Amino acid sequence: MKFGIIVFPGSNCDIDCYHVLKDILKKDVEYVWHDTDNLDKYDCIVIPGGFSYGDYLRCGAVAQFSKAMEQVKVHASEGKLVIGICNGFQILTEAGLLPGALVRNKNLKFICDTVSLQVENTSTPFTNLCKEGQIIDIPIAHGEGNYVVDEDILENMKKNNQIIFTYKDNPNGSLLNIAGVCNENKNVIGMMPHPERASEALLGNSDGLVIFESIINYFEGGAKNE
Amino acid sequence: MKAKVYVTLKNSIADPQGNAIRGALNKKGFSNVEDVRIGKLIEIELGDITKEVAEKQLNEMCEKLLANTVIEKYEFEII
């Protein structure tokens, strides 16, 4: 399988994602510049954290109009995987690929911390190696991570098990402690915490690896596990 | 033709910035202030077009980019 990491002007977690996928997990991965008009060769697209186009109007607002995002919509509609981390999550909500929106943290502060997440749904391509109710500690670094969504949409999301990660101790005011959600088809996920910053024992925390390993397992599982 | 576009959070969305400013105003002696909502004012120079075209364009601009209608509402005036 092959990963593609979209790089916007202002992305800054692209290199971390690349390092984890290439050097730690030994997978085939390429950077993809934001003006690409073809994502056919990738199985999973990573939309990394950072400040795409400076986040000038709203986080992710301008990035949704890039050529790459048009292709990400096509990619997602074909059932292939997309994972948006932090700014990537904000871009996916702005682009309408994920429900809801991310507004200013309740305490107005940019929060840089490691938080405990509960895995709420282990039957997605992104969490299939997690144990039911597993707690993972993952860093966050955001000023606009306060998840909001209309009530009727939230009801549908609950019914369809689209809430994937929740904070044990809500840092930013998110509705229902939501830290990560997926779309109805479960092939597009967005999360504010940064698993790529917690994927190497050498750096003190490898709780995030399970997410990338789940994606790989989803594509290659049978062969790899034997 | 010029336009002023006002983008504000929907009433159902909490406004932490507005709450902070309300607190500050209360402390400054404006104890009657009950609520503050913060939004954006966007001024746009539209060039030489008719009012009808301007309205159509502004609606499209707001829906597509200037406001995120999941959380924000917008209004505009053409000057």
Q: Is the pLDDT of residue A221 over 90?
A: no
Which residues of chain A are at the B interface, by a Cβ-Cβ cutoff of 8 Å? 57-58, 61-62, 65, 93-94, 100-101, 103-108, 146, 148-150, 173
Please give the CATH topology (third level) of the domain spanning A2-222.
Answer: Rossmann fold (3.40.50)
Mutation target among A55, A58, A106, A170 for the B interface, most CBs of B within 10 A: A58
pLDDT digits (tens, 9 = 90+) for B8-58: 999 989 899 999 999 999 999 999 999 999 999 999 999 999 999 999 999
Cα nearest neighbour of A172 on chain B = B16
pLDDT for the residue A224: 46
Does B65 sit within 8 Å of A173, measured CB to CB?
no
Closest CA to A118 of A83, A183, A149, A164: A164
Distance CA A57, CA A144 (A): 13
Q: Check whether A76 has a pLDDT greater than 70.
A: yes
Q: What is the average pLDDT score of chain A?
A: 95
Question: What's the pLDDT score for residue A225?
Answer: 43
Query: Looking at beta carbons, which residues of chain B come within 8 Å of A190?
Result: none
The predicted structure's pLDDT at residue A220: 92
ipTM field:
0.83
SS3 A91: helix
CATH number assigned to the domain comprising residue B18: 3.30.1280.10
Instruction: Give the predicted TM-score (pTM) of the model.
Output: 0.93
Q: Count Cβ atoms within 10 A of the Cβ of residue B30 and give its class: 0-12 exposed, 13-18 middle, 19 or more buried.
A: exposed
pLDDT tens readout for residues A114-138 = 999 999 999 999 999 999 899 999 9
Number of domains composing chain B: 1
- Where in the sequence is the domain holding B27, given as residue range(s)? 2-78
Domain residue ranges of chain A, discontinuous segments joined by +: 2-222
- Nearest-angstrom CA–CA distance, A197 and A86: 12
pLDDT band of residue A222 (cuts 50, 70, 90) is low
Amino acid (one-letter) located at A76: A
